[in-house]
Structure 1
Amino acid sequence: MGQIRFMVVSGFLGAGKTTTMIALGEYLKEHYGETAIIANDLGANLVDTNLTQTSGCVVAEIANGCICYQMDNVVDQLRRLRDKDGAVFVMSDIPGCGVGALDHVYHTLANDYSDEFLLSPFTVIVDPERLRMIMPEKADINLPEELVYLLQLQLEEADLVVLNKCDLLSEADIQRYVDFLKTAVPDIPVLCISARERTGIEELAQYVTKNTTQLKNFSVRNNHEFEQAEAKLTWYNRRMFFKTLSGDKIDMNAVVDDLIEEIRMGLIERKRNVPHLKTFATSGNGDFNKASLIGVDYDVEYEQEFLRPHKNMRMIVNARAVCESRPMARIVDDAVDAVCDKYELDCQVFFTECFGMADEGR
């Protein structure tokens, strides 16, 4: 059996990795062949899995840990996607603070499984707002210096850098960001896209299907600064079900918006931040709401909102916060209580996990 292509998509929290994979996957499925997406994160009950399933691509999930440390699972998933689903191109993201997949994943596959998997360029997605942290203006967007270091490491790891969200920029600004990237990482190609608007996706598809990784020697093993950066983050995941006490249909978009706003205000009150908060809510029949927040100083971004009122919704919340785990858990609990009181809702919680990377026992 011939090789199939595999590609890791890395990037900072909120850069648009999932949206990029969906846009790229839909294009490849039409023009290249069956394409599969692996959603990966440190926790369970992932927003990205649910969102990706709306794309029409084959979807798999590797949860409860970065793919870097689950190589047997990765190989099993790749073989299943190839043999059962007929995938010829598979891509996986890694957690948004993740660095090291080039070392752990690509080099392992190249050394031990080169007859099965052809490795496309290790691709790092960057968004303009976060990139400003390391540009000459040194923008302060209320994130610790340790997380700025993570962004720098991710760029160094790349075979290909993709500047996303270019629909939000003028031509002059796009050129300014590209010029900076070509100076910061001079030997790495840069492509510009808008995953949401589907611009630049054809060029990206052509690049990742015609080129392979350079297999650079890049490692963060025993890197104390990297460990300090990871220790700043808390992972919060919850799955719950809301329903109106009256049985009447209401605007569930307002509920989602107010829930995120309550979390935002709780973080601001404690002088904490959330580099990425994602929610996915659905009431069935294909109607869903996907929201994203990349910091307490930003507006909520909606991939899609509910098209009509509903009397209930299933909801997943994933947050990656610069906040200790216990305060973060209380903030979300308080936010849920607030919206239930305001909209006269009942909430059943089916799953919750909240942990810091430096918490005892991890």
Structure 2
Amino acid sequence: MEPIRFMVVSGFLGAGKTTTMIALAEHLNRTFGESAIIANDLGANLVDTSLTQTSGCTVAEIASGCICYQMDNTVDQIRRLRDKSGAVFVMSDIPGCGVGALDHVYHTLAREHGDEFTLAPFTVIVDPERLRMIMPERADINLPEELVYLLKLQLEEADLVVLNKCDTLAEGDIDRYVDFLKTAVPDVPVLCISAREKTGIDELAAFVTTRTSALKNFSVRDNREFEQAEAKLTWYNRRLFFKTLSGEKIDMNAVVDDLIEEIRLGLIERKRNVPHLKTFATSGNGDFNKASLIGVDYDIEYEQRFLRAHKNMRMIINARAVCESRPLARLVDDAVDEICERYGLDVQVFFTECFGMADEGR
């Protein structure tokens, strides 16, 4: 049996890892062979899984922990995607601003399953806005210095750096960002894409299907700075169901907008931030809303908005915030209550989890 090609996609919160994996999978399905995506995170009820399913791509989910610490489960999922779905290329992201999968995942697979897996280049997605934090202008986007350190570590770990969202840059600016990356990580190739516009995906596909990981010696084991950086983040995940009390259809896009805005205002009031907040809402029949916020100072970005009015919607909220867990949980509760009162909605909550990496008892 031919080895299955496996790739980890890393990157900063909000850089576009999921959108990139979907665009790449769609391209590979046409040009290379059946591909599949593993959505991975520390919590359950993942927006990324729901979004990937709407694309028609094959998706599996590994929740409640990074693949770095679930290697038996990870190997089993890759084999299942190969055997049941015919996948010849599988890619997985890792949670949050994760660092360390090169050591924990790639080196383990090479050592213990070398005949079964071909390891594609360890790929790190960066976006222009976050990259400016470490460029000469040292942009202040209200994130702790510890998270800036995580971005630097991610670049060092990469076999390949992919500058995403190039459609938001002028041509001269693209050259400036690429030149900076080539200076920051001089031995690492850099590609430019727009996952949303699906430009540059053919070049990315050609790279990751014809090359393999250098398996660099890179580790964050016993790295105190890395532990302090991770401790700044809180994970929030919720699954809930809204319906109008009147039974009439309303503009659910406005409900999503205002809910995110209330969360934003709550964070600003507490002088906190959210490097990435994602929501996925659906009312069935293929109609859905996927929204994203990469900080309290930014506009909401939409993968898609509802095409028509609805009288109910199922919703998933995933947030990765620089905020203590208890205040974050309270402010989201307050935001939901405010929206229900404003729009005449009833809400049922089916699942909630909120935890910080440094919380006792995790």
Q: Give the Cα–Cα distance (whole angstroms) in 2 for the partners of residues 325 and 294 of structure 1.
A: 18
Q: Give the Cα–Cα distance (whole angstroms) in 2 for the partners of residues 218 and 13 of structure 1.
A: 21
Matched position secondary structure for 2:162: strand
Deviations 1:5-44 (A, max 9, x none): 0000000000000000000000001111110000000000
1:355 to partner: Cα distance: 0.1
Structure 1 residue runs of 5 or longer lacking an equivalent are none
Contact 1:279 1:317 in 2 (8 A): yes
Q: Give the Cα–Cα distance (whole angstroms) in 2 for the partners of residues 334 and 29 of structure 1.
A: 44
- Letter paired with 1:293: L
Q: Give the Cα–Cα distance (whole angstroms) in 2 for the partners of residues 35 and 139 of structure 1.
A: 37
Deviations 1:181-205 (A, max 9, x none): 0000000000000000000000000
Alignment of 1:1-362 (within 5 A): 1-362=1-362
TM-score normalized by the length of structure 1: 1.00
Structure 2 residue runs of 5 or longer lacking an equivalent are none
TM-score normalized by the length of structure 2: 1.00
Contact 1:41 1:65 in 2 (8 A): yes
Q: Give the Cα–Cα distance (whole angstroms) in 2 for the partners of residues 327 and 97 of structure 1.
A: 21
Deviations 1:247-274 (A, max 9, x none): 0000000000000000000000000000
- Letter paired with 1:334: D
Q: Give the Cα–Cα distance (whole angstroms) in 2 for the partners of residues 19 and 75 of structure 1.
A: 24
Matched position secondary structure for 2:129: helix
Point out the more displaced range, 77-86 or 274-283.
Answer: 77-86
Q: Give the Cα–Cα distance (whole angstroms) in 2 for the partners of residues 161 and 2 of structure 1.
A: 27
Q: Give the Cα–Cα distance (whole angstroms) in 2 for the partners of residues 58 and 129 of structure 1.
A: 30
- Letter paired with 2:171: E
1:56 to partner: Cα distance: 1.5
Q: Give the Cα–Cα distance (whole angstroms) in 2 for the partners of residues 300 and 58 of structure 1.
A: 27
Q: Give the Cα–Cα distance (whole angstroms) in 1 for the partners of residues 101 and 131 of structure 2.
A: 21
1:237 to partner: Cα distance: 0.2
Matched position secondary structure for 1:84: helix
Deviations 1:122-152 (A, max 9, x none): 0000000000000001110000000000000
Contact 1:14 1:96 in 2 (8 A): no
1:288 to partner: Cα distance: 0.2
- Letter paired with 1:141: I
Q: Give the Cα–Cα distance (whole angstroms) in 2 for the partners of residues 273 and 112 of structure 1.
A: 41
1:57 to partner: Cα distance: 1.5
Q: Give the Cα–Cα distance (whole angstroms) in 1 for the partners of residues 187 and 225 of structure 2.
A: 24
Matched position secondary structure for 1:53: helix
Percent of aligned pairs with the same amino acid: 85
- Letter paired with 1:223: N
Contact 1:268 1:296 in 2 (8 A): yes
1:332 to partner: Cα distance: 0.3
Contact 1:158 1:188 in 2 (8 A): yes
Q: Give the Cα–Cα distance (whole angstroms) in 2 for the partners of residues 157 and 35 of structure 1.
A: 24
1:225 to partner: Cα distance: 0.2
1:96 to partner: Cα distance: 2.3
Contact 1:3 1:115 in 2 (8 A): yes
Q: Give the Cα–Cα distance (whole angstroms) in 2 for the partners of residues 192 and 18 of structure 1.
A: 16
Contact 1:10 1:96 in 2 (8 A): no
Contact 1:279 1:318 in 2 (8 A): yes
1:54 to partner: Cα distance: 1.2
